[in-house]
Amino acid sequence: MSEQNLQSQTVQTTGHAWDGDLQEFNNPLPTWWVYVFYFTIIFAVAYWIIYPSWPFGKGFLTGVPIPGLSRITYTNDKGETVESHWNTRALLAKKLNEHAEMQKPYFNKVAASDFNRIAGDPELSGFVLSAGKALFTDNCAPCHQQGGQGVVGFFPNLTDDDWLYGGTYDKIHQTLVNGRRGYMPAFGEVLSAGEIDALANYVASLSGIEHDAVKAADGRALFTSETAACYYCHTESAKGRQDMGAPNLTDRIWLWANVPGADKAEDKIAAIRSIIVAGVNKGVMPAWGERLSPEQIKVLTVYVHELGGGK
Amino acid sequence: MQVGLEEQVAPLQGRIPVFTRSVKGAFRRFKTGVLIFAYAVYFLLPWLPWQRAGAPDQAVLFDVPGRRFLIFDLTMYPQDVVWLALLLFIAAAILFFATALVGRAFCGYFCFQTLWTDFFIWIEAKIQGERPARVRLYRQPWNREKLLKVGATHLAWLAASFWTGMTFILYFGHAPDLVARFFAGEAAVAAYITVAVLTVSTYLAAGYMREQICTYVCPYGRFQSVMYDPETLAVHYDARRGEGRLGRASARAGLRTAEERHAQGHGDCIDCKLCVQVCPAGIDIREGLQYKCISCGLCIDACNGIMDSMGFPRGLIHYDSEANLSREKPARPHLHWKRLKVVGYGVSIVLMTAYLVYSIAARSSFEAAVTQVRQPLFVVLSNGDIRNRYQIRVTNKLGVAETFSVGIRGLPETALDLGNLREVTVKPGHSAILQASVILDAATAAKTREVEFVITPRAHPQEARTETAAFHYSEQR
């Protein structure tokens, strides 16, 4: 760099001097940068005026209403068209409206198709899988759990191949619309401790659990006797009755007695005994017919059917 | 800094206007060639038709709603994003490679800021005339002539900016339809916003800010500067030759021939300032290598022209390296590629490119993913058998519908239950989900840890793929 060029590049100072010779450089900002800064200030003020911003009295300033920019129009759950100031709640409602509109053709198709057709059509079954999952999560998962696996002693497992009230599309649909009420009387005061123990050993024997053969033989006689009258509901073969929701006692699936949770055979039998003593009066599934739309129930029917493979 | 134009000073640093003189020469021809080629590609590519099954007949179409990029005969889906990542890696490596060898070649010849600024200066020169005419116009008060010429320039800039923005959105929709819908006011809001933003930013960046983008805004220019080595070639002024013992001097009487100048101690630079006048960054290359220099080579062209007319040898300003120039006797400048850094970049470019080409060439016609349903991990059936459930997602990447079937390997076929959908036909570019169950007796289940699913496309059975998923069972709850 030549001498002459160095001189032309002297740096400006602010003009102040401290301690005699201490000066402050004044490196100017680029104009465009300053204009961008001014623009951000103007933008902030405009934003503050147009959109809801400051608390005011008991409410707040809702902004200057500019349709499409600071106003949101949406349909609320009562079907009324509502116009509101810009806020994320209204924005969410508007987005939900839009997505419901996008789902509508699929729900219409579901409404127009029978169950087999829905399950056999790749597009509709894909829709059932995603929409059904959302519906199941919102409405069913609190009891039946996220994956439909239920809780032993409380809520039935929907993913196995045992259907208390029947696993056809129509039966599942009926269950969803009308709800169910599972009931078994308590035998604690009707039968003696010995009789209950005999029955428990018999029920254990049906599922291949280690048991006392003598007691089980007594239990078998009791099961079909008028004293205990178990066979009224569970039938003589103990395979249960789906029209009453009486469980099949010969399979490996347990809803009320926590047999899978017990390690030793005596604990398993104790679990069965406790159910015979106390009965079952909590097998209540609410009716969804008036809470969900027919299409939603149809989607859920197919979804639940696919969870356990149906029957 | 151009002499006589520094009147705008602090407190704000206004842009000191740069009026570039046009120049003829090898670098100018190369830059013009790049500009024409790049513009031809950018502006015409969206209009190139391309026949393909089941998709719009546009050669390059970034189909965002359809979640795919159509690039000639290649269809890219979101899961192919690794190609895009690889392409960016390769682009970065090429940038590093070129910078290590020849400095900011990207900035000077290929960067879109350089290209668009070049084009805007060309428009400006066509309407307002050569540099002296533009300087005169800038200094004269506002009158009819100035208003007309400046107004026409800005209108032309705006038109160019608008079509730049317009062309950009044409890559995202079927071009003829989109143009028609755009002007009928029926295009998506995003289209209008994009065009508006790009029009304004192009107009400002190429019309007003120009070299300020490179100086203040662009990070690449800055980090390329730190990639220079002493051996890196860059545009240099040969100060030893130009300045001589007593500095540069104009070619007045008695200083016209090389012999006269050398005898009096002056160098070959006749201080014509043409190298400054042609510089789009507004710098004086004779002050040495500087951060504002985008290495466009126009000063080389300008100087060579003067050297020719003076009868001096060319190359007072030329591509050279600092290491070479500082030598006692500089050698002929050449590319110093035998350096670990350069070779390393080169090898990585070759490897990554080879992998990208291989990966694209060996792409399969479908994607398949098997996931085990983990809630619950397994189900005990009424007869004591164990069931695991799986979701098999198949994506058809072909241009035509394809039917997929699913089987299992290593276990009896009867263990697989596909429910209602035994096989599935998938539309081009779409996905479908098959629900599969694998049912094993408790003894087999206890020994089984994995299930191998074989997914077979009916039209291309040789492409059948095996996907492995876990099988869960434990007797203890």
Q: Which of A14-28, B67-81, B203-217, B221-235 has the lowest mean pLDDT?
A: A14-28
* Whole-number Å distance between alpha carbons of B359 and B86: 10
Q: Which pLDDT value is given to residue B42?
A: 97
Q: Which pLDDT value is given to residue B476?
A: 59
Q: Is the pLDDT of residue B464 over 70?
A: yes
pLDDT tens column, B161-192: 999 999 999 999 999 999 999 999 999 999 99
Please, where are the H alpha helices in B208-290?
211-212, 219-225, 239-243, 258-264, 274-277
Q: Which pLDDT value is given to residue A7?
A: 42
pLDDT above 70 as % of chain A = 96
| Mean pLDDT (whole number) for B92-116 | 95
User: Of A93 and B3, which is predicted with more confidence?
Assistant: A93
Residue A10 confidence class, pLDDT cut points 50, 70, 90: low
Residue in chain B nearest A264 by alpha carbon: B476
Residue B12 confidence class, pLDDT cut points 50, 70, 90: low
Cβ atoms of residues A275 and A185 within 8 Å: no
Instruction: Identify all chain B residues contacting A264, using CB atoms and an 8 Å cutoff.
Output: none
> Beta strands B12-13 and A29-30: pairing type?
parallel
- Rounded to the nearest integer, the mean pLDDT of chain A is 89
Instruction: Determine contact: B422 vs chain A, CB below 8 A.
Output: no
Q: Could you tell me the CA-to-CA distances from B354 to B236, B349, B358 in Å, in that order? A: 36, 8, 6
Measured in degrees and rounded to the nearest 5, phi and psi for residue A84 equal -140, 165
Q: Which pLDDT value is given to residue A5?
A: 41
Instruction: Determine contact: A126 vs chain B, CB below 8 A.
Output: yes
Residue A8 confidence class, pLDDT cut points 50, 70, 90: very low
Closest to B278 measured CA to CA, from B58, B474, B103, B18: B18
Closest to B429 measured CA to CA, from B78, B178, B85, B82: B78
* Whole-number Å distance between alpha carbons of B369 and B396: 12
pLDDT above 90 as % of chain B = 68
| Mean pLDDT (whole number) for B425-435 | 86
Instruction: Please count the residue pairs, one from chain A and one from chain B, whose beta carbons lie less than 8 angstroms apart.
Output: 104
* Whole-number Å distance between alpha carbons of A176 and A178: 6
Q: Is the pLDDT of residue A53 over 60?
A: yes
Distance of CA A299 to the CA centre of its chain: 14
Q: What burial class does residue A31 get, using C-beta atoms within 10 Å of its C-beta: 0-12 exposed, 13-18 middle, 19+ buried?
A: middle
Instruction: Determine contact: A149 vs chain B, CB below 8 A.
Output: yes
- Encode B231-247 in three state secondary structure: CCCEEEECHHHHHECCC
Q: Which pLDDT value is given to residue B281?
A: 93
Which residues make Cβ contacts (< 8 Å) with residue A264, sequence separation at least 6?
A: none
Cβ atoms of residues B70 and B56 within 8 Å: yes
* Whole-number Å distance between alpha carbons of B93 and B16: 35
Q: What burial class does residue A204 get, using C-beta atoms within 10 Å of its C-beta: 0-12 exposed, 13-18 middle, 19+ buried?
A: buried
Q: How many residues does chain B have?
A: 477
Q: Is the pLDDT of residue A3 over 70?
A: no
Q: Which pLDDT value is given to residue A9?
A: 52
Q: Is the pLDDT of residue B9 over 90?
A: no
> Beta strands B431-440 and B416-417: pairing type?
antiparallel
Are A120 and B421 a contacting pair at CB < 8 A?
yes
For A29, the closest of B1, B13, B433 (CB atoms) is B13
Which residues make Cβ contacts (< 8 Å) with residue B81, sequence separation at least 6?
A: none
Q: Which pLDDT value is given to residue B277?
A: 95
Q: Is the pLDDT of residue A4 over 50?
A: no
| Mean pLDDT (whole number) for B71-83 | 88
| Mean pLDDT (whole number) for B320-341 | 90
pLDDT tens column, B260-293: 999 999 999 999 999 999 999 999 999 998 989 9
Q: Which pLDDT value is given to residue B172?
A: 95
Q: Which pLDDT value is given to residue B1?
A: 42
pTM for this entry: 0.73
Q: Which pLDDT value is given to residue B55?
A: 79
Q: Which pLDDT value is given to residue B5?
A: 43
Q: Which pLDDT value is given to residue B53?
A: 74
* Whole-number Å distance between alpha carbons of A63 and B438: 60
For B419, the closest of A33, A157, A309 (CB atoms) is A309
Q: Measure B12 CA to nearest chain A CA, in Å.
A: 5
Q: Is the pLDDT of residue A255 over 50?
A: yes
Are A252 and B209 a contacting pair at CB < 8 A?
no
* Whole-number Å distance between alpha carbons of A200 and A269: 6
Residue that is written with structure tokens 């079509």 in the block: B163
Are B382 and A160 a contacting pair at CB < 8 A?
yes
Q: Which pLDDT value is given to residue B11?
A: 52
Residue in chain A nearest B217 by alpha carbon: A33
Between CA B23 and CA B33, with CA B28 as vertex, the angle to 5 degrees is 140
pLDDT tens column, A66-104: 877 888 889 888 888 988 888 999 999 999 999 999 999
* Whole-number Å distance between alpha carbons of A160 and B466: 28
| Mean pLDDT (whole number) for B124-148 | 94
Half-sphere exposure of B408 (CA within 13 A, CB side): 24
Q: Two tokens at A10? A: 């002297």
Instruction: Identify all chain A residues contacting B288, using CB atoms and an 8 Å cutoff.
Output: 1
Cβ atoms of residues B385 and B433 within 8 Å: no
Are B12 and A28 a contacting pair at CB < 8 A?
yes
Q: Which pLDDT value is given to residue B73?
A: 86
Residue B6 confidence class, pLDDT cut points 50, 70, 90: very low
For A261, the closest of B387, B424, B477 (CB atoms) is B477
pLDDT tens column, A167-215: 999 999 999 999 999 999 999 999 999 999 999 999 999 998 999 999 9
Residue in chain A nearest B14 by alpha carbon: A31
Residue in chain A nearest B208 by alpha carbon: A32
Residue in chain B nearest A248 by alpha carbon: B382
Residue B449 confidence class, pLDDT cut points 50, 70, 90: very high
pLDDT above 70 as % of chain B = 97
Instruction: Determine contact: A29 vs chain B, CB below 8 A.
Output: yes
Instruction: Identify all chain A residues contacting B380, using CB atoms and an 8 Å cutoff.
Output: 160, 252-253, 260
Are A32 and B432 a contacting pair at CB < 8 A?
no
- Rounded to the nearest integer, the mean pLDDT of chain B is 91
**Chain A residues 49-68 with a CB less than 8 Å from chain B:** none
Instruction: Determine contact: A14 vs chain B, CB below 8 A.
Output: no
Q: Is the pLDDT of residue B353 over 80?
A: yes
Q: Which pLDDT value is given to residue B2?
A: 46
Residue B428 confidence class, pLDDT cut points 50, 70, 90: confident
* Whole-number Å distance between alpha carbons of B140 and B138: 6
